[in-house]
A and B are shown apart, each in its own frame.
Chain A
Amino acid sequence: MEELTRSLAWFRPELALVLGLVAVVVVDSVGPASRNLAMRLLTLGALAAALGFALELQAEGANAALFSGMLVVDPLGAAFKLVLIAAGLLTMLAFSFRNSRELHGLGQGELFALVLALVLSCLLLAASNDIVMLYLALEMVSLTSYVMVAYLKGDRMSNEASLKYVLFGAASTGTMLYGLSLLYGLSGTTSLPGIQEYLAGGIPDGNRFAVYAVTLLVLAGFGFKIAAVPFHFWCPDVYQGAATPVTALLSVLPKAAGLAITMRFFYGALSVPEAGAWDLMGSIHWPALLMLVSVLTMTIGNVAALTQTNMKRLLAYSSIAHAGFLLMGVVALSENGARGLLVYLAAYLVMNLGAFLVVTLVHLHDGSFDLRDYPGLHRRAPLLTLAMAFFLLSLVGIPPFVGFLAKLYVFAAVIEKGMGLYATIGAINVAISAYYYFKVLKVMTIDPGNEDKPPLPLALADRAWLVAFALANLVPLLFWDRIEGWARGALVLYAGR
């Protein structure tokens, strides 16, 4: 019982979200016709409260296992929670049923509840310390995502995309489950620290094969969540088929949570903490495997994006490529790597949300997601084009934008570990990605066309959010040392039961 009350004290962000979820469901069922505003406020309130609690948690520097070792709160986890909740909150604030043409006329209550459930599941996934909790949280994130993508149920392409998502996802997580079952058999326990103990104790040669098999199988589930090759096939169709605010959410939240658990799993179960870093237990060299995945992911993502004309698909492939870069942080197997991952995720959040906001607004007023309809936007919506320029340059990784900071961190972490070739391939990929990001910018600014179209009547709230995201991409570089301090302070992974 004391375990329970002690754990609940650390569980405040999640509790806020659960209460919000229940409240939204109740209001949606029994509320009057004007309940949409109430539900939106409830959702925003729950997310804000969760953010507040998460900030408190980080300040308190908690480092403990909760609920009999199911979850873990540690400084790194607290930092991830901040990024996850902030992503949910920012998306809910910047996107709404008003400024997304795709969502017009659809029932609102379910989406609000689903957003809260998604953020909650992502928090649980990022903090999982046990393979049962891991599997359940992963499936919670997946199921919530499937339903959110299927929201546009009147649209055939949307339905096909969500069906593809469900089948692909269920197959990947089923494969991962098989791997987890083998891991349970090998170690006799479901807790990650227990598994680490077992592996650190030295595994007989005959078992090494099994551990390799487990790693590959488990990678199926993680790879699917972060859309890494070869488990990325669902990504472009799903991003295109879902309503753009949903796509924006899915591009950040499941990916970040998936990366957090990938890091926790590989650092926490398949590695041993050494002084200030981590070490492999002499048996399986999983960073090599992840490096291969990372290289394939960034390259295939970037190359496929080169020929896209649909903005949502382009951003989908861009997302896939960024997952490749993000994995660099995991491959580095060091404190700097973990720090790089965290900073990159925070940067990725503002870059990606900004880009999706621009795409949503253009669709709201012009009704098109096609890049070929984008010429002339510099004249019709100068603020929007300027903001998009910021986002695109940040996505490439050009100073002084925050995307540059992010890439710097992960590249430094990788180079520090002596993986020069890996870093070189990464640099080549940055160059490849520059081509299509600049192409978008060029189409918006230089290309002739659409001279007869009127300026875009952007609402004040939309303008404000464009400015906010644009500044978020630019300003952090001024506070470099603050960010450094935040990321450095976050670098403690809970090591223990």
Chain B
Amino acid sequence: MIGLQHYLVVAAALFSLGVLGLLTRRNAVHVLMSIELILNSANVNLVAFSRYAAGNLGGQVFAVFVIVVAAAEVAVALAIVLTLYRLRRTPNLDDADILKG
């Protein structure tokens, strides 16, 4: 029988993988993808709780807002990445100084 715990484990796995990517990646777009994993993991939590623990749709409504925010964040982040690329005139966005300290 599939229950709440199963989904929570999946979410935990996604979150941990996202944090791993966050800590080990140096390219900005890779970090952005890891952040998306983290956001999705929280969403899985929310929807699973909505179904098995809370019994209401608050979690799902919350999840929709998270998706909205994620879209806005990615748009702004990529705009900055693009501008940075233009300024540095190099395709290599691995940047030690951005992500250190």
Contact = CB atoms under 8 A, between A and B. Distances in A.
Asked if A and B touch directly (CB within 8 angstroms), the answer is: yes
Interface of A: 131-132, 135-136, 139, 143, 146-147, 150, 153-154, 156, 159-160, 162-164, 166-167, 170-171, 174-175, 177-178, 180-182, 184-185, 187-190, 233
A14 to B, nearest CB: 18
A189 B76 CA distance: 31
Interface in B51-68: 53-56, 58-59, 61-62, 65-66
B84 interface: yes
A187 B34 CA distance: 28
A178 B69 CA distance: 14
Nearest to B74: A170
A187 B55 CA distance: 11
Contact of A175 (B28, B38, B61, B81): B38
Interface of B: 11, 15, 18, 22, 28, 31-32, 34-35, 38-39, 41-43, 45-46, 48-49, 53-56, 58-59, 61-62, 65-66, 69, 72-73, 76-77, 79-81, 83-84, 87-88, 95, 97-99, 101
Given A150-B83, A166-B80, A132 B42 contact: no
B4 to A, nearest CB: 8
Contacts of A132: 58, 61-62, 65
Contact of B58 (A167, A178, A184): A184
B98 A163 contact: yes
Contacts of B22: 171
Q: Which of A160, A178, A190 has the most CB of B within 10 A?
A: A178
Contact of A177 (B28, B66, B77): B66
Contacts of B101: 233
A389 to B, nearest CB: 32
What is the interface of chain A mostly: helix, strand, loop, or mixed?
helix
A112 to B, nearest CB: 19
Contacts of B98: 160, 163-164, 167
A491 B88 CA distance: 52
B76 A184 contact: no
Contact of B53 (A153, A167, A188): A188
Contacts of A188: 49, 53-56
A166 B72 CA distance: 11
A150 B59 CA distance: 33
A174 B38 contact: yes
The 5 closest A-B pairs by CB, nearest first: A185-B49, A181-B45, A174-B38, A188-B54, A177-B42
Nearest to B49: A185
What is the interface of chain B mostly: helix, strand, loop, or mixed?
helix
A184 B11 CA distance: 15
A181 B42 contact: yes
B84 A171 contact: no
Contact of A160 (B46, B54, B66, B95): B95
A163 B73 contact: no
A262 B55 CA distance: 28
B44 to A, nearest CB: 9
Q: Which of A163, A164, A189, A233 has the most CB of B within 10 A?
A: A163
27 contacts: A135-B65, A135-B69, A139-B73, A143-B69, A147-B76, A156-B84, A159-B80, A159-B83, A160-B84, A166-B77, A167-B35, A170-B32, A171-B22, A177-B39, A177-B66, A181-B42, A181-B43, A181-B46, A181-B49, A184-B54, A184-B62, A185-B48, A185-B53, A185-B59, A188-B53, A188-B54, A188-B55
A204 B84 CA distance: 51
B55 to A, nearest CB: 7
Given A132-B61, A146-B77, A178-B41, 7 more contacts: A132-B58, A135-B69, A160-B98, A162-B80, A170-B73, A171-B31, A188-B49
B76 A146 contact: yes
B73 to A, nearest CB: 5
Contacts of A187: 54
A171 B38 contact: yes
Given A147-B76, A163-B81, A185 B35 contact: no
A203 to B, nearest CB: 14
A185 B81 contact: no
Contacts of A159: 80, 83-84, 87
A352 B44 CA distance: 42
Contacts of B69: 135-136, 139, 143
Nearest to B73: A170
A132 B67 CA distance: 12
A162 B48 CA distance: 35
